[in-house]
């Protein structure tokens, strides 16, 4: 690798999206996260955790539950919603009785969904293949139901509210036990029910309380936190319970076996370890396959465990937030409410190094699924949940100021898109539609008469959402990848080849501009190079597979971007959240003797050398601008702190 000038952009400051609730689907390893902007992120945590898809809702997300691959949510508008994971939109709504719906719980064996409301009603629905069918209404209780959970048999339903927990019989709908907390204005905010019918609750006093569900009595109370406890969870063995809240310390209590006076084995819960994964309020905890997932006001998804000691924090950043116009030297930054277009100054001119050109504001309540800018900077395209929108960016002849002109004429194929990509000459726009599994190519014209060149039915090859789309520099090949690990190559509007299916989904792919070899990075961080012309994997790929570099595989973040030095065909640059990794396939290359780490890595695999650069934080884009310049765009963690509510900034960070 040679030396390059790097445009390091660190002023990108996207909106902070807090975590409100989470739910895990154990069969598919999918983690659903409800965000403060009424979006649901579905993460794949099978390998390196990454966002699988994003769903948008009409109102707040206050509770989430999975059932056999189906996702349900509840909202303050008083509805329970099932979401279509293919169309990425709500499938239907069920109104509850009565008021806002704050919590839901599903018993898998009986296929019953329970929803607790603001006015103290418990709505029971039967989950059928066609949707939700109303079953019954349980006895009304006083006050808001803040949390709800089934026992393992599905015969008992436990609710938490102000000053009390209640145990309901599903058969007759009556409360058989009322478990008072002992103090007025104590809000039971979270609860779980163990297999032995031990009920564990967390409340606004910061206490962790244990109850005997059969007898309806309190077993033990522990002052787990200094202030409000908001969430708790059990691990799979049900021997550990984790608790956190406004006091962001995650406290673990562990069950130990003791001999009672009657020589009968009994369990006692004792305080174990404390975990510090967040600096502000924690809203949700889930334990899954030995790892603890936590999220809260700061928006980070933290993955921790002990032992062994582990903490990885995934920032609240939406994928595909940046697009680069290489010829025009423009950078487009995507926000929740607008797009910003910036001009990168010429390295030979020291004036006007970086300047904002235009801002494009979305219509109210629009959610931008994807956006891109053409290499020559004249076209800006983004897709909402309803349609594709195309704009032209031109310079006013008189004032030399940039002007935005909207293109109103669109072909009928301009459907909602999941991925967009321009050809290198900016003459063609490729996009994958969300509803029809179609790959469309539009011929761009400044006369605003957009013509459809290709319209390819991808349904025989693509079985899920297209999340990767790449056009070769020669415009000869188009590559798409879906969430079911399918990677397909098209040429001149026809199917060209299908790559062998790998066991985990691809997170990034790119075609080399000169060799036209396709490089794919997968969720387990394995990297493959495929010769499209010969329809076979390259020797570089085989070397990586036979002796994969440990430094490449063992990092906790997925590979998000791939870049190439056009002057070299034996090297690939990979980047994740905070690392640039240069992988070189060169037996004759000599490691830098001043860098002992690099020397050690090359000794592991003489055919593959790996160089790691860790000079970045929250890297959201990395690629070449031209043969001499690179663009690296990162989000400064301090900008996320600045977006926290004032009370958290003042308390935690000492800001006035």
The candidate with the shortest Cα–Cα distance to 339, out of 378, 377, 369, 382, is 382
Q: How does residue 137 score in pLDDT terms, banded at 50, 70 and 90?
A: very high
Residues 545-591: tens digit of each pLDDT: 888 888 899 999 999 999 999 888 889 999 999 999 999 986 544 44
Residue 596 has pLDDT above 80, yes or no: no
Residues in contact with 130: Cβ distance below 8 Å, sequence separation at least 6, in sequence order: none
pTM, full prediction? 0.93
Residue 409 has pLDDT above 80, yes or no: no
Q: For residues 160-191, b (16+ Cβ closer than 10 Å) or e, as one string?
A: bbbbbbbbbebeeeebebebebeeeebbbbbb
Q: How does residue 413 score in pLDDT terms, banded at 50, 70 and 90?
A: confident
Q: How many CB atoms lie within 10 A of CB 290?
A: 11
Angle at 614 between CA 612 and CA 618, to 5 degrees: 125
State the pLDDT at residue 282.
97
State the pLDDT at residue 593.
42
Is residue 115 a contact partner of residue 136, using CB atoms and an 8 Å limit? no
Residue 289 has pLDDT above 90, yes or no: yes
The fraction of the chain above a pLDDT of 90, given in percent, is 73
Residue 1 has pLDDT above 60, yes or no: no
State the pLDDT at residue 7.
86
DSSP annotation string for 72-133: EEE-TTSEEEEEETTTTEEEEEEE-SSS-EEEEEEETTTTEEEEEETTS-EEEEEEETTEEE
Distance in angstroms (rounded) separating the CA atoms of residues 519 and 402? 37
Of 2.40.480.10, 1.20.1530.20, 2.130.10.10, 3.40.50.720, the CATH number of 19-314 is: 2.130.10.10
The candidate with the shortest Cα–Cα distance to 309, out of 256, 257, 252, is 252
Mean pLDDT (whole number) for 589-618: 60
- Residue ranges matching CATH 2.130.10.10 in the chain: 19-314, 322-568+588-601
Residues 379-407: tens digit of each pLDDT: 999 999 888 999 999 887 777 788 998 88
Q: How does residue 594 score in pLDDT terms, banded at 50, 70 and 90?
A: very low
CATH 2.130.10.10 fits 322-568+588-601, yes or no: yes
Residues 491-532: tens digit of each pLDDT: 999 999 999 999 999 999 999 999 999 999 999 999 999 999
What sign for the dihedral angle of Cα 296, 301, 302, 305? Answer: positive
Is residue 473 a contact partner of residue 487, using CB atoms and an 8 Å limit? no
Phi, psi of 17 (to 5 degrees): -110, 110
């Amino acid at each position: 690798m040679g030396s390059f000038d790097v445009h390091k952009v660190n002023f990108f400051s996207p909106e902070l999206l807090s975590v409100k609730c989470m739910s895990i689907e154990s069969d598919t390893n999918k983690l659903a996260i409800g965000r403060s902007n009424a979006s649901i992120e579905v993460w794949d945590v099978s390998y390196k955790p990454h966002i699988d898809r994003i769903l948008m809702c009409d109102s707040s997300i206050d509770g989430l539950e999975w059932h056999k691959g189906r996702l349900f949510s509840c909202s303050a508008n008083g509805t329970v919603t099932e979401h279509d994971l293919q169309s990425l939109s709500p499938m239907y709504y069920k109104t509850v009785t009565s008021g806002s719906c704050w919590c839901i719980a599903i018993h898998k064996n009986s296929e019953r969904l329970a929803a607790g409301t603001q006015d103290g009603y418990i709505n029971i629905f039967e989950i059928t293949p066609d949707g939700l069918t109303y079953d019954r209404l349980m006895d009304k209780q006083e006050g808001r139901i803040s949390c709800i959970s089934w026992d393992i048999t599905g015969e008992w339903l436990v609710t938490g509210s102000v000053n009390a927990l209640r145990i309901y019989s599903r058969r007759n709908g009556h409360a058989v036990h009322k478990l008072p907390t002992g103090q007025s204005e104590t809000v039971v905010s979270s609860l779980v029910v163990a297999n032995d019918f031990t009920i564990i609750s967390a409340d606004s006093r910061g206490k962790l309380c244990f109850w005997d569900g059969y007898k309806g009595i309190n077993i033990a109370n522990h002052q787990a936190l200094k202030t409000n406890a908001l969430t708790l969870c059990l691990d799979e063995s049900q021997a550990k319970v984790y608790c956190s809240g406004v006091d962001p310390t995650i406290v673990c209590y562990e069950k130990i076996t003791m001999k009672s006076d009657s020589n009968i084995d009994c369990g006692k819960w004792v305080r174990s370890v404390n975990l510090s994964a967040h600096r502000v309020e924690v809203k949700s905890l889930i334990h899954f396959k030995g790892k603890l997932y936590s999220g809260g006001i700061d928006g980070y998804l933290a993955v921790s465990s002990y032992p062994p000691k582990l903490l990885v924090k995934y920032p609240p950043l939406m994928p595909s937030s940046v697009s680069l116009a290489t010829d025009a030297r423009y950078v487009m930054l995507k926000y929740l409410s607008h797009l910003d277009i910036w001009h990168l100054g010429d390295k030979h001119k020291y004036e006007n190094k970086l300047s904002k050109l235009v801002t494009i504001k979305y219509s109210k309540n629009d959610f931008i699924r994807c956006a891109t800018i053409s290499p020559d900077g004249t076209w800006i395209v983004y897709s909402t949940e309803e349609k594709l929108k195309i704009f032209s960016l031109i310079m006013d002849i008189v004032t030399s100021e940039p002007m935005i002109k909207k293109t109103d004429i669109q072909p009928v194929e301009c459907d909602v898109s999941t991925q967009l990509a321009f050809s290198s000459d900016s003459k063609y726009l490729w996009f994958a539609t969300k509803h029809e599994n179609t790959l469309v190519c539009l011929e761009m014209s400044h006369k605003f008469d957009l013509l459809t060149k290709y319209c390819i039915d991808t349904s025989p090859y693509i079985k899920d959402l297209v999340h990767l789309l790449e056009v070769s520099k020669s415009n000869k090949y188009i590559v798409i990848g879906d969430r079911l690990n399918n990677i397909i190559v098209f040429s001149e509007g026809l199917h060209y080849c299908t790559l062998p299916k790998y066991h985990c989904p691809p997170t990034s792919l790119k075609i080399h501009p000169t060799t036209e070899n396709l490089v794919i990075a997968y969720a387990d961080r394995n990297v493959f190079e495929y010769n499209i012309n010969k329809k076979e994997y390259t020797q570089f790929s085989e070397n990586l597979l036979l002796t994969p570099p440990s430094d490449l595989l063992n990092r906790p973040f997925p590979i998000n971007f791939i870049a190439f030095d056009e002057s070299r065909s034996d090297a690939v640059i990979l980047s994740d959240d905070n690392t640039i990794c240069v992988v070189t396939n060169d037996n004759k290359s000599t490691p830098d003797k001043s860098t002992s780490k690099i020397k050690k890595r090359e000794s592991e695999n003489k055919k593959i050398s790996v160089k790691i650069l860790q000079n970045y934080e929250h890297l959201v884009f990395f690629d070449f601008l031209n043969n001499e310049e690179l663009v690296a765009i990162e989000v400064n963690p301090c900008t996320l702190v600045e977006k926290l509510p004032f009370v958290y900034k003042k308390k935690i960070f000492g800001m006035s």
